[in-house]
Structure 1
Amino acid sequence: MLLLALCVPFSAQASEHIRLGIQLEPPSLDPTRTAAVSASEITWCNLFEGLTFVNGEGQLRPRLAKSWTLSDDQLQYRFELRHDIRFHDGRTFNAEVAEFALQRLLDPGNANPQLEWYKQITGVKATDEYSLEITLKRPDAMLPFALSLPAAVMVHPDSAANNGEHPVGTGPYRFAGWEKGHSVTLLRNDDYWGKRPALHEARFLFMRTSVGTENMLAEGLVDGLLSVTRVGNRFLLRPDYRMSPRQLQSKMILAINNGRPPFDNLQVRRALSHAIDRQNLSQLYGPQFKPQLIGSHFPPSHPAYVDLVDRYPYDPERAKTLLREAGVEPGTRIALTIPPTDYGRYGGLMVAEDLERIGFRVELEQLDWSRWLSQVFKQKDYALTLIMHVEPMDLNIYARDNYYFNYDNTRFKAIWEQVLNAASETELHRLLGEAQRQLAEDAVNVFLFMRPEQNLMHRQLRGMWEKSPIPSFVLEDVYWAP
């Protein structure tokens, strides 16, 4: 009887509450103002919503918009918005609010992390209470996808300035509190315009150390961990937890400064691609994870993916021949800059060993994140760097001027112009395939593998979105199974 008495309230509570471990605490909870993935992990499609979204099956769908149409000249999108939607503080969402949110996004002085996605937009106008027109300077077939990103969620002019600390959105959950250094708590929005979620409360707990994380798991203090890339075997064997796949688009690359000798030489870049043992490097995450190798900057989960893994097979002798033909002397010194991550520390040593095997003398330079962003990403002061690109569908970075790869190829830019002008999904996929092949032929970077991210979840949890490429743990379909 005592056991029964103890079990009943626990089951009732567990059926409506969830505790999730997240690796990093975000600097802000406003995904339109920070590049930190941890912000969107908590807020996207939970607190905040966009005009469009990518659902749990990886499909682009309308969200706060009911539908959209494109003009014959492909220079104007018209969005019809849903009615009777309110923000968590009771304020109304309409086309005027959507116009404000997008104009705020387009402000060149803001800190939006994905501003490049929206450079084609020249005008945003509310034509009536629930109709919005977006005008472009040139066609952009990718815009509906761009509007699904966390950077483009809808915010209200009266609360936008405080969203970093106290976010106010339209989503199925509302902000309840942020205990700095510990957790963020969300509560169900019972006035939500859509389907009522099963869970009443969700708490995102910040996991600071691997030891602390495993202790919390062992004591049953968390119901799941997000974006697990390594976990002790004792938890993999536990019957009450299971690994839940994620189809995020985290691409590990050895980035090359294409503008710095000797890497401005195509032969040298191709030598690097032959020199790195990707299969060996992919064991970085331990035997329980099997990363997918890639041959270009594109995820295998996308229908437009082209398998280019075998374009540059591991072949140190071929790499040496290419370097010799390019006039690179054995013993040439090069610097490999690495970020303060496990893959940087351990993967950097493995990459350095491969490069020294073909004749380079490698100097490892480890930077903290602020210095990496300043020196490598902004100033482009580096030769090689091992880095993870986590943004979904970010092939467009290779068409940008002055991006940190220093890659400036008119052929690729022409292909990307055609991508933006694609008149059908079939044509779009074909052109995305051409873009992947061009990057592989130019050996812009050494494309390595997809980070093998999974969620470690309690076996009774159901309804996780496993195929969306957006880095977020969406709560609206999650429930506890009996």
Structure 2
Amino acid sequence: MPKKLALIVLSIGVTCLQLGCRHKRESANTVTVLIESSPTNLDPRIGVDAQSERIDSLIFDSLVRKDEHFNLQPWLASSWDNPDTLTYIFHLRNDVHFHNGKHLTAADAKYTLDTIMQGKVISVKANAYQTIDRVDAPDAQTLVIHLKKPDPALLWNLSDGGFGVVPAGSGRDFWKHPIGSGPFQFVSQEQDKDVILMRAAQSWQPLPSIQSLRFAVVPDATTRALELQKGSADAAINALPADTVYALRRDANLQIDSGPGTTLVYLTFNTRDPILRDARVRNAIALAINRPLIIHSLYRDEARLAESTLPPEHWAWNGNVARHNYDPVSANTLLDQAGYSRKADAYRFHLGMKTSTDEGSRLLAMVVQQQLTAVGIALDVRSFEFATFYSDISRGVFQIAPSRWIGGNEAPDIFRYSFTTASFPPHGANRGFYANTKVDQLLTDAASTADRSQQQSIYAEVQKILADDMPAINLWYLDTVLVHSRRLQNLHLSPSGNYDFLRDATVKE
């Protein structure tokens, strides 16, 4: 490992986790999961942060549900028809009840969508349903959605994590005591302290073994590790630095499970920038970054290389695209061809990278800064509080910025949302203002067909173009890593890193 990179890695500094007295938890029937922050809103019509969506998925049910290859499967809707590109007819189960005993019907699903679309609850999710013309519920088990124009993302926006059916009549204060139909029901929430759920008294799904769940808010990573070691907490998923996880492997009372994840770490380019608008420069930067070394040094190999925005398990993933393997010689050649020769100070030009104050982002920026020096690029790194950072990249006030997709890259509509001209901010997440008329047309074609094989072919072509144009560098997918007490057994990890493992987990005393 290069000396400078080794020093950077050492700067992470893992606090020595001394094994203290093991504490007995409040109740043997309660499983405590550590989370970094409180969910912002447990009304599934409103909450969009990771904690809200993941906890909501245990309380509420969606119309459809993603499988391990991100195909959409029946859930509340036992089946659905798509007679034309503007009509979806969902046939709902007739054996589902809310936690208050009320029968769940199509009227509840219609009400959930209507209150979002009509602004009866203020939610950014309204943007996801702009293509809906109207929703009908002709009978208790039939829901009909009429579209203004074809929308390939509709089913994704009705799936787990993004959607949950609430009882008709639920008002704006529903978040205070949410009522769903999932395997766990809400008990209480105290901001910045915890969320408590209990096993539902009845459910159309198999009842969990866990009787009570406590999601304890612990913002500090070292404290989370100590809580696990003391035995006062049972689990933390994707919530500990790689070096801390490595240190915890020596604790005989803890177990670490990991598997491929879908969270994508990437770098966005501002393609309107005078230097970065040249695809040769963008490709040169990609070739100058030694991704395997960074994965090994910073992430303890708990990540895998990414060449697409979609994860490899996805039905639409294309693995036959141009690779950007570490190749500083080719990077130098591309920069020479682009007309940027080295100056007297050995640098070709300066670029700025903006990051948030998140330690992981700043550390990544420092490593990239060091590696770009080798090809004659001086990278100036500046960190900002997240609100400022997000505002700047949304307005295009940046040259390069690191970011992550957490869940959003599990749907192929991510390409439309991130790379079409119609998705320039504030209408989407094309924050690098990338413009390619062929990509625009391909994604319009994908939206106009329901044929899976045709869509797969179109998305494959889009991924090929993006790999050549490099409007963003796909760095790696972070593994899903669960640290848990050995009393939790029968755990099945989801690549999404959600809390589905709690549905089937058993508690061993």
Q: TM-score, normalised on structure 2? A: 0.84
1:401 counterpart (418, 423, 428): 423
Determine the C-alpha separation between the residues in 1 that align with 2:125 and 2:134.
18
Determine the C-alpha separation between the residues in 2 that align with 1:451 and 1:109.
38
Aligned length: 468
Structure 2 residue aligned with 1:313: 325
Preserved contact between residue 247 and residue 466 of structure 1 (Cα < 8 Å): no
Deviation at 1:12, TM superposition (A): 13
Structure 1 residue aligned with 2:337: 325
SS at 2:136 equivalent = strand
Distance 1:420 1:109, change over 3 A: farther
Structure 2 residue aligned with 1:194: 205
Distance 1:308 1:452, change over 3 A: farther
2:460 counterpart (433, 444, 461): 433
2:216 counterpart (190, 202, 205): 205
Structure 1 position 291 matched with structure 2 position 307: no
Q: Write the mapping of 1:347-366 to structure 2, written as runs, cut at 5 A.
A: 347-366=364-383
Structure 2 residue aligned with 1:63: 75
SS at 1:140 equivalent = coil
Q: Write the mapping of 1:249-260 to structure 2, written as runs, cut at 5 A.
A: 249-260=262-273
SS at 1:191 equivalent = coil
Bigger shift: residues 336-345 or 25-34 = 25-34
Structure 2 residue aligned with 1:131: 142
Structure 1 residue aligned with 2:192: 181
Percent identity, aligned pairs only, is: 23
SS at 2:479 equivalent = coil
SS at 1:161 equivalent = coil
Structure 2 residue aligned with 1:383: 399
Q: Which amino acid aligns with 1:368?
A: E
1:171 counterpart (167, 170, 182): 182
Deviations 1:414-464 (A, max 9, x none): 222233344443333333222211211111111100122311123342344
2:446 counterpart (416, 419, 433): 419
Deviation at 1:143, TM superposition (A): 2.6
Distance 1:20 1:367, change over 3 A: same
Q: Which amino acid aligns with 1:297?
A: T
Preserved contact between residue 480 and residue 495 of structure 2 (Cα < 8 Å): no
Preserved contact between residue 336 and residue 383 of structure 1 (Cα < 8 Å): yes
Determine the C-alpha separation between the residues in 2 that align with 1:351 and 1:108.
44
Determine the C-alpha separation between the residues in 2 that align with 1:185 and 1:282.
36
Structure 1 position 270 matched with structure 2 position 283: yes
Deviation at 1:205, TM superposition (A): 1.2
Preserved contact between residue 33 and residue 236 of structure 2 (Cα < 8 Å): yes
Q: Which amino acid aligns with 2:56?
A: T
1:20 counterpart (26, 33, 38): 33
Determine the C-alpha separation between the residues in 2 that align with 1:193 and 1:311.
46
Determine the C-alpha separation between the residues in 2 that align with 1:437 and 1:110.
40
Structure 1: which 5+ runs fail to align?
1-9
Preserved contact between residue 50 and residue 147 of structure 1 (Cα < 8 Å): yes
Distance 1:39 1:291, change over 3 A: same
SS at 1:93 equivalent = coil
Deviation at 1:254, TM superposition (A): 0.9
Determine the C-alpha separation between the residues in 2 that align with 1:31 and 1:248.
24
Structure 1 position 444 matched with structure 2 position 460: no
Determine the C-alpha separation between the residues in 1 that align with 2:60 and 2:508.
26
Structure 1 position 336 matched with structure 2 position 363: no
1:302 counterpart (307, 314, 320): 314
Determine the C-alpha separation between the residues in 2 that align with 1:31 and 1:282.
35
Bigger shift: residues 177-186 or 389-398 = 389-398
SS at 2:162 equivalent = helix
Deviations 1:358-405 (A, max 9, x none): 22222211111111221212x221110011111232333223421212
Preserved contact between residue 80 and residue 130 of structure 1 (Cα < 8 Å): yes
Determine the C-alpha separation between the residues in 2 that align with 1:55 and 1:430.
21
2:131 counterpart (120, 126, 136): 120
Deviation at 1:53, TM superposition (A): 1.5
Determine the C-alpha separation between the residues in 2 that align with 1:35 and 1:302.
23
Preserved contact between residue 308 and residue 317 of structure 2 (Cα < 8 Å): no
Structure 1 residue aligned with 2:480: 453
Structure 1 residue aligned with 2:226: 215
Preserved contact between residue 17 and residue 201 of structure 1 (Cα < 8 Å): yes
SS at 2:504 equivalent = coil
SS at 1:127 equivalent = strand
Determine the C-alpha separation between the residues in 2 that align with 1:463 and 1:158.
38
SS at 2:59 equivalent = coil
Determine the C-alpha separation between the residues in 2 that align with 1:13 and 1:335.
52
Bigger shift: residues 354-363 or 52-61 = 52-61
SS at 2:159 equivalent = coil
SS at 2:262 equivalent = coil
Distance 1:272 1:70, change over 3 A: same
Deviation at 1:89, TM superposition (A): 3.4
RMSD over aligned Cα, in angstroms? 2.7
Q: TM-score, normalised on structure 1? A: 0.89
Distance 1:250 1:31, change over 3 A: farther
Q: Which amino acid aligns with 1:437?
A: K
Determine the C-alpha separation between the residues in 1 that align with 2:501 and 2:176.
20
Bigger shift: residues 313-322 or 365-374 = 313-322
SS at 2:172 equivalent = helix
